[in-house]
């Protein structure tokens, strides 16, 4: 049954494709799909479909960009002008709950410069379908994500007169992070025990709040025992109990849709995606480089578009997404993320004259002369320098004589 529908669908699609191709403007896949869906659900006649295709084709033709249009400059201006409005609100912090997220112009610059890590990395972690409306289960995921260090759940004090460092676990803090004293004890033993030359033992108190004492090994012959003790305190502060490296905070917020979403400070996409119960399709980070290394260049392209678009629209600026897509395409089309500007695209143009026109003119020309570089004069800057029409718009059109048709000689 469904197979048959699919077959019919495919046939319809093929027919539509042929029709649109004949009309001269091939419609995008998504439009074809929509028309095919409509045809089936609304039971349209062949004539209706033909009418729709004609209408859609004419409209598409109207919005298509002409060949030789200087889309790059238009994109640059379309992003640049709203950018000037952003400067007034530089370093604007806002965001989810009490978290700080860089927004506005600094963020836009960060994206376009292809910085390896954003100044405020954050993640939005979604839970799998069955869990997302259960606060407790989402909380569990958040606990696995948030980095818990020893100072988060216990106080550390050094008692120099007794030559020991005392860890006082706090029951409430431990509970709120879903751990207990045993886990704490284990972590300290593992990360600070024999390996580093300390002895870990249980001290005074009872139950969950029983202290953990760290002393120097008895047989250790230390020249500077006091300093070693202070080192022990420092080491204790760095003991990691749970969570993922890089993520310092994880907050849960209930969205309007009723689901709980985790927002984090710090980002570690690779590890978060490994956690069971995380929705791998929707979970994301604002670190474009992380997306690139985990999910690849196409995902990075989408990430740049989304981040730039969000940064702009968050400030109430509407830039057509196609301008941003062009920027993203230019940044990613070589398979790695390249920055716009001196260290990125502009710095490695193939034309010497274009590079010389951009920056450090003499150095570029000198090097080109020494290495015998050839300039094909294909770009805009080169042609302006040598005084030729530029290869854009009218200047790019080449004409040829077209003999009149259907007219006999000497008519």
Partner 1 sequence: MVKKGGTAAGGEYFTRFEKARILGARALQISLGAPILVDAPPEVLDPLVIAEMEFDALVIPITVIHRKLGTIIAA
Query: Scanning residues 5 to 34, which ones bind partner 1 (CB under 8 A)?
Result: 24
Nearer to partner 1, 87 or 394 (CB): 394
Position among 42, 88, 370, 402 found at the interface with partner 1 (CB under 8 A): 402
Count the residues of the shown chain that bind partner 1, applying the rule CB under 8 A.
20
Strand pairing partners for 304? none
Position among 1, 42, 374, 400 found at the interface with partner 1 (CB under 8 A): 400
Nearer to partner 1, 60 or 365 (CB): 60
Nearer to partner 1, 23 or 143 (CB): 23
Nearer to partner 1, 69 or 329 (CB): 69
The CA distance from 187 to 195, in Å, is 13
Told to check if 408 binds partner 1 by CB under 8 A, we report: no
Position among 207, 258, 316, 403 found at the interface with partner 1 (CB under 8 A): 403
Nearer to partner 1, 207 or 403 (CB): 403
Closest CA relative to residue 335, chosen from 298, 287, 285: 298
Are 189 and 196 in contact, with CB atoms under 8 Å apart?
Answer: no
Residue 270's φ and ψ, nearest 5 degrees, are -55, -45
DSSP character string of 275-338:
STTB-TTT-EES-HHHHHHHH-HHHHHHHHHHHHHHHHHHTT----HHHHHHHHHHHHTTSS--
Nearer to partner 1, 2 or 394 (CB): 394
The CA distance from 340 to 328, in Å, is 10
Query: Scanning residues 39 to 78, which ones bind partner 1 (CB under 8 A)?
Result: 61-62, 64, 66-69
Q: How many residues does the chain have?
A: 411
Told to check if 378 binds partner 1 by CB under 8 A, we report: no
Stretch that binds partner 1, among 192-200, 235-243, 328-336, 393-401 (CB under 8 A): 393-401
Question: What is the separation of C-alpha 320 from the centre of its chain, rounded to a whole number of angstroms?
Answer: 19
DSSP character string of 146-168:
S-EEHHHHEEEEEEGGGTEEEEE
Stretch that binds partner 1, among 37-45, 313-321, 342-350, 394-402 (CB under 8 A): 394-402
Told to check if 162 binds partner 1 by CB under 8 A, we report: no
Nearer to partner 1, 362 or 400 (CB): 400
Residue 331, token pair as written in the block: 């940044």
CB atoms inside a 10 Å sphere around CB 338: 18
State the residues that interact with partner 1 by CB under 8 A: 24, 61-62, 64, 66-69, 393-394, 396-405
């Amino acid at each position: 049954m469904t197979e048959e529908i699919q077959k019919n669908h495919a046939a319809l699609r093929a027919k539509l494709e042929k029709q649109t191709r004949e009309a001269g403007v091939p419609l995008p896949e998504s439009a074809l799909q929509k028309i095919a869906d409509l045809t089936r659900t609304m039971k349209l006649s062949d004539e209706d479909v033909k009418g729709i295709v004609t209408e859609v084709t004419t409209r598409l033709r109207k919005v298509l960009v002409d060949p030789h249009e200087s889309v790059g400059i238009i994109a640059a201006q379309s992003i640049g002008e709203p950018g000037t409005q952003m400067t007034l609100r530089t370093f604007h912090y806002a965001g989810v709950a009490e978290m700080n997220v860089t927004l506005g112009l600094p963020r836009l610059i960060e994206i376009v410069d292809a910085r390896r890590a954003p100044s405020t990395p954050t993640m939005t972690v979604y839970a799998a379908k069955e869990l997302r409306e259960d606060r407790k289960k989402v909380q569990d995921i958040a606990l696995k994500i948030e980095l818990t260090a020893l100072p988060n759940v216990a106080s550390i004090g050094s008692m120099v007169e007794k030559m020991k460092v005392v860890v006082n676990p706090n029951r409430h803090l431990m509970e709120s992070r879903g751990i207990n004293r045993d886990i704490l004890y284990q972590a300290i033993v593992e990360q600070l025990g024999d390996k580093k030359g300390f002895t870990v033992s249980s001290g005074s108190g009872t139950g969950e709040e029983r202290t953990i004492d760290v002393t120097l090994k008895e047989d250790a012959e230390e020249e500077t025992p006091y300093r070693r003790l202070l080192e022990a305190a420092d080491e204790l502060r760095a003991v990691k109990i749970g969570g993922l490296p890089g993520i310092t905070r994880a907050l849960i917020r209930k969205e309007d849709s009723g689901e709980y979403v985790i927002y984090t400070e710090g980002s570690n996409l690779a590890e978060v995606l490994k956690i069971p119960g995380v929705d791998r399709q929707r979970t994301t980070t604002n670190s474009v480089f992380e997306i690139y290394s985990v999910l690849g260049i196409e995902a990075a392209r989408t990430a740049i578009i989304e981040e730039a678009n969000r940064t702009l629209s968050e400030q109430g600026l509407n830039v057509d997404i196609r301008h941003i897509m062009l920027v993203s395409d230019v940044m990613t089309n070589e398979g790695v993320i390249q920055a716009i500007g001196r260290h990125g695209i502009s710095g490695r143009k193939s034309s010497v004259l274009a590079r010389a026109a951009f920056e450090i003119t003499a150095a570029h020309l000198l090097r080109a002369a020494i290495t015998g570089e050839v300039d094909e004069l294909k770009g805009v800057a080169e042609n302006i320098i040598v005084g030729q029409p530029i290869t854009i718009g009218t200047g790019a059109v080449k004409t040829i004589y077209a003999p009149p048709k259907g007219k006999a000689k000497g008519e």
